[in-house]
Structure 1
């Protein structure tokens, strides 16, 4: 059991366990002393001995973030985005906290502060990074922490479901806007997104060798959910790709030589030319998946094309047109 007492104006915590050397430390407040004692006792229970907490007193969260960014992030898919998020985290005042003092309340305060300036989905991603950094530090780097405080904090609820579909002549206006722009493959890219429901990253990552001309199939070797899949092409999508291939450079390997950031800027300019509001590029995935259902494909068939592993997620992405379904009702 730990002993907490006030000594010469400060609070002293002492932990005694049979067979172990007593450990004590002084703090400005009783709460800090009690927390230190609880954590130390938990570490003794976990490791069978009192670990050297000096490393926790000298190691900051920012140092762990920097090491993780250098050693772990580069070997992950989506490393560019994760490294950028870690840069943001390293500039936050939370990064200057030592691991001995990092508490559940610190993480909760960080969450609440971030929610004032970023979307809940961004805050969730940042908390996920913090949690994995600490988990790696405990399991692989030997940091003597008794628990991962990030896991104790409630994650924000993400409510980003959208039911935006192309309406009226919006598709025609989009394609006409593509023709009026300076990106020669933009129209093909938009058609492919609508016809297949593929993700932005999947489309931008396509090589010409991924496209089977005989089978009229696109092979994706690695996708967001960690596995590959084959995507059948409609005649419209295949013709658009072959038309662009005839114009592309002979030795080009990438189908669409454009970065995600460049596509985002191009998309905004396209919407302005087409006079369309409140349409995201990802909404074309909603449109494509919904059209697959409207063509009569069942849930399993659509999931094999779209790459959704969980059917509940597929239902969330699917918004069928009531007008198109009326004819199928008896």
Structure 2
């Protein structure tokens, strides 16, 4: 029987996934799904596919048990599961599907195919693509593993997972694949002040509908990623705790909800984002406005604006995600225990936060109220 599942994208727009699952004696388990922008389109697709399968089950069901090209398996995987994962995971798989390995039948893939793919990626041998790092290759390998496991375990396709895992062991042994290096970069007080003043001035002269001078500090005081900030529902904030929907987890999937503690220093910023005038500005030209969200904005735009501002102000090697590192550093400086830090950051493992435990507190740390005082004075004095 077919079903329709409603989901919401990071920008708040609704998507409808039509899903068909069939168990029939004499045939392999069959499942297929496709995502649409309207519920009526999803319902029509389900109805049409069910009719086709009913009319010709031999072709529609047994075809799924045969081998497929890796490219087609990736497309099917993204069609059915893509909305559960982050953009980086999905874009990596789309790229892989277009490379020579994507044209191979998955039942013929052997360790030498995976090794050749890895070497070509590391050495920039694919036309139009730069050489990548072992850490980036690790992301590609994880993506391929997810697709192959789904193909074998869920769809019953002929996949030799041992060949893949043996190839990965060889790549790790030769250090061609490695985990990403943990960044330790945090913004200095001067950099935070520069960014606050710059974003405040842009907001005051009406050059932006994004209150970035508030967003960056909300990120620091809540330890939330930009995607999570833009999914925060106002009604989910209850008694000092905020339910973060579709929080990222280590596997990259987007289906888990976590309760996180909101500290008092974030409350003035949250209140400021609820002011009618601020919300009216954010709503201007926003096609995907959702009044139930605290920040119904594009997470990609938030990151892009931060990057452009850093470049303009000559701030080197600072990324938006470093604000989350800054948040954890501040919690450690305030001598919170790891479990107390987890309540705020939402990390599900101690190991992710233990490196902060013995951090040496900085002598001076800029806070939001002081940063805004300086920004307002600079604006009043005409220095921006």
Q: Distance in 2 between matches of 1:139 and 1:145?
A: 9
Specify which structure has the bigger relative contact order, considering alpha-carbon pairs within 8 angstroms and separated by 6 or more residues.
Answer: 2
What is the Cα deviation at residue 65 of structure 1? 1.7
1:139 and 2:146 matched: no
**Secondary structure at 1:309's aligned position in 2?**
coil
Q: 1:228 aligns with which of 257, 280, 302?
A: 257
CA contact (8 A) 2:262 2:344 kept: no
CA contact (8 A) 2:332 2:356 kept: no
CA contact (8 A) 1:130 1:150 kept: no
**Secondary structure at 1:72's aligned position in 2?**
helix
1:63 and 2:69 matched: no
In the alignment, what sits opposite 1:293? 332
CA contact (8 A) 2:219 2:323 kept: yes
C-alpha distance after superposition, 1:103-158 (max 9, x if no partner): 10110121222233234343222212212222222222222344343222235112
Q: 1:84 aligns with which of 80, 91, 96?
A: 91
What is the Cα deviation at residue 306 of structure 1? 1.0
Going from structure 1 to structure 2, the CA distance change for 1:232 and 1:133 (only over 3 Å counts) comes to closer
CA contact (8 A) 2:212 2:302 kept: no
Q: Distance in 1 between matches of 2:320 and 2:348?
A: 22
Structure 2: gaps spanning 5 or more residues: 1-64, 124-130, 203-207, 250-254, 284-289, 365-384
Q: Distance in 2 between matches of 1:81 and 1:159?
A: 14
**Secondary structure at 2:246's aligned position in 1?**
coil
Going from structure 1 to structure 2, the CA distance change for 1:68 and 1:231 (only over 3 Å counts) comes to closer
In the alignment, what sits opposite 1:95? 102
Q: Distance in 2 between matches of 1:68 and 1:227?
A: 20
What is the Cα deviation at residue 316 of structure 1? 4.1
Q: Distance in 1 between matches of 2:143 and 2:309?
A: 34
**Secondary structure at 1:222's aligned position in 2?**
strand
User: How many corresponding residue pairs?
Assistant: 266
Cα RMSD, aligned residues only: 2.6
Q: 1:72 aligns with which of 81, 87, 99?
A: 81
Normalised to the residue count of structure 2, the TM-score between the two structures is 0.62
1:248 and 2:279 matched: yes
Structure 1: gaps spanning 5 or more residues: 1-53, 326-330
**Secondary structure at 2:359's aligned position in 1?**
coil
In the alignment, what sits opposite 2:120? 113
Going from structure 1 to structure 2, the CA distance change for 1:123 and 1:295 (only over 3 Å counts) comes to same
Which sits farther off after the overlay, 251-260 or 202-211?
A: 251-260
Q: Distance in 1 between matches of 2:198 and 2:241?
A: 28
Going from structure 1 to structure 2, the CA distance change for 1:277 and 1:288 (only over 3 Å counts) comes to same
**Secondary structure at 1:169's aligned position in 2?**
helix
